[in-house]
Structure 1
Amino acid sequence: MKVAIIGFGKMGQAIKTLAEKENHEVSLIIDRNNSQDFTSEKLQGIDVAFEFSEPGEASGNVMKLLQSGVSVVCGTTGWTIETDLINKVCSEKGIAFFHASNFSPGTWMFFRLNEWFAKQMTGTAYEVSIREKHHIHKKDKPSGTAITLANYICQGNPSFTGWKPDNDFSCGNKIPVSSVREGEIAGIHTSVWDSDYDTIEITHTAKNRAIFAQGAMMAATLIQGKTGIFNMSHILSEYFNL
């Protein structure tokens, strides 16, 4: 594949390393120091663009890529995805948009495990909370992965109505989420089920960013020649029969 990388932080660098290892052609890298090169002309012939930038930049980047006829794999979180508009452009251009808050397939198995477990805990005395830890460079709190985890727990147990920061003491059945930023932690997410008698913790730990780059490359391969909007459920179905 001929690829572009929009946003050359740690994830962009990890994707470049993997793409070159797998003999893909990295034709364009856009970061803040060369934003003037982010043009439709420079995007000609690109098969897929990896968009891993900042929340305030993602929407504009994604629309520019799609309107230029380039399929997009996006991992930026903390922005509002205009699904109807993106789907319309994808249909018009015959291209695809793939978005995930986390590109580790294991994380999505972790989500499904928590959904199942939440269902089993319906009607019990356990209270649930979520802890997430990331490196100091991550700006959004809580992480998109933590929010997705909360949503899966709510799907499994509708008595929970969403999530809230752990310092929000308002009433309601929302799941408290705590966030820590320290060191170079790739990502640790834990659901904590606590009662007066015991505590059950379910944790997913990313050891490094390589797994996210691998998942993003799987997504790029998956959407080649396809039209529409895709997510990690398609990865689990295509590669893991889940």
Structure 2
Amino acid sequence: MLATSKPLAGTAVVPIDGLIRPGNRSEKRIAIVPARTRVFLPGIDRSETFRIKSGCIALFQLLPDGRRQIVDILGPERLFGRGISDLHQCGAESLCETEVELLTAMRRSLEIEINQAVRQMLRRAQAHATLLGRKTAGERIASALIDLAGQFAENGGNAFQLYLTRTDLADWLGLTLETVSRYLNRFRREGLIDFAGANHISLRDRTALTQIASGRNLALVQ
């Protein structure tokens, strides 16, 4: 069930500080990261941190043979940067055009936000380890859909833009591309989800998906 994909050909790699629009101390410093761009942070102090204003960032690790494991998906208001995750070990890639804000290290409240973000990332890492180690394919995909709805659906709704490709989902969930496609199609046939175009998804039966994600509905995860 392990993912076997390799990084997308032609993916750009850029320093994020080269994308930041210049501004004075009183102005927000914003970077627009193009879709499918890997960012790194040369020349920026390890205490610098970025907040996602819109879009989607994937944190990933690469195996020696080039295979990719996505370790987390970050949506709006999530923090990332060298103050939170070691980008020497963990890379960052925008899955769509993404706007990020450089947070000023002088802000006294930033330390509290970073501590909260680190705790959140730790909780998510523990949940991801359980997902990869113990959950079935159906449980993994149901869990991912609920997580993405929580990050990207507006006003607590059930419809959201799916920035991840099937390959991204496979690399995040430790599955093959075929398995991801099969379960998404099955959930659609069962009336649990629906697609409006290729990249917009709605959860039609969130309760059932939650039951599947927690292993309480075995009929739909075999």
TM-score surpassing 0.5?
Answer: no
TM-score by length of 1: 0.28
Bigger-Rg structure (1/2): 1
TM-score by length of 2: 0.30
